[in-house]
Amino acid sequence: MAQILIVDDEAALRRSLRRTLERARYVVADAANVTEAREMLAAEPVELVFCDINMPGESGLELVRTIAGDGSDTAVIMLSGIDDPAVAREALMIGAHGYLVKPISPNEALIAVASALRRRELELERRAYVRELESKVLTRTSALRDALQRLERTQASARYADRDAVARLVTALTLRSEETGAHIQRVGLYSQLLARRSGVNSRSEEEIRFATMLHDVGKIGIPDSILLKPGPLTASEFEIIKRHPALGSSLLAQGESAVLRLGAEVALAHHERWDGEGYPLGISGAAIPVCGRVAAIADVFDALTSDRVYRAAMPIGDALELMHTERGRHFDPGLVDVFVSSAHELAAIRSAHPD
């Protein structure tokens, strides 16, 4: 259970509040003033502090400022004998998690503790996310820079692009165990095949292949705790996942090569749906860039025909049949018809690039 420190110059209040909290199985200590509290916090940090505002010596507000200024993860609930909105506002502004007016009922105290500890937990999760993201960016920056520079140098013509430059870039950014090098290659090859068979000629086949391999680079900004989660995602976790198309597009959009610029377009569009129910823009039909529509089909097909921790791979025929039921809803009808008719070629690609 959480450790709690009560800081108040009223001994009777300390005893009463301590009994309430200990009955709820919290570990509780108490101090009669701010000086004593500082010594106790220095010796052993706690999860939550109940702190009176007006005490002999230093004010409880000064203790809150110290805790907040040190970047501590300790939650603070202020106590006051006067219901003063201005003081309450000041306490909350400087970092307090709650403000209670004496006398305090046991239920009121326990509800305030539960709320403050939950806020503290959410803040710790946010900080962990930021640290994780910073770590990912730092550890991948060198590989990312090298891959981008290598691709730019070899991009005098897309036809002569160094084929492993994109693979290096994607490998540097790939975060999920299911997104293997073979998955990346297959999505590119499926996209290239579909573009050729459907007559997509706005870009060369090589550009389309390489660009569609970059569809998921935005996942560098998604926590591993979500990407690697074996079970279903919560609604809030899925909202975080939905950020990766825009993140990937932003990452690639400044590239000078045609492949990177097309990769930015694909990254942004590959989760849009023909019926407009996709994300992040919610655009529909022909408004979705054609290479994004191609990548969406290739990516879903590879996901369906690959093993996942939560299900076995579908047979190719079953996957194509399922995808065909989504023509005009999830997928461009014309493109998915061509894709479904390419079962033999798709099987050959799958066989040549197993996981």
Q: Measure Cα distances from 41 to 14, 123, 133 in Å.
A: 17, 20, 30
Closest CA to 316 of 345, 291, 275: 345
Q: Measure Cα distances from 4 to 50, 111, 113, 149, 242 in Å.
A: 8, 14, 9, 53, 38
- Roughly how many angstroms between the first and final C-alpha of the chain, as a whole number? 45
List beta partners, residue 3. Answer: 27
Helix (H/G/I), strand (E/B), else coil: 100: strand
Question: 197: which 2 tokens?
Answer: 């068979």
Question: 337: which 2 tokens?
Answer: 């018809």
Contacts of 243 (CB under 8 A, 6+ apart): 218, 221, 222, 280
Matching residue, tokens 């921790």: 309
Instruction: State how far the Cα of 87 lies from the Cα of 94, in Å rounded to an integer.
Output: 11
Contacts of 324 (CB under 8 A, 6+ apart): 336, 337, 340
Helix (H/G/I), strand (E/B), else coil: 290: helix
Half-sphere exposure of 46 (CA within 13 A, CB side): 26
List beta partners, residue 50. Answer: 6, 77
- The 10 Å Cβ neighbour count of residue 116 is 23
Closest CA to 269 of 245, 241, 297: 245
Name the residues annotated as catalytic.
219
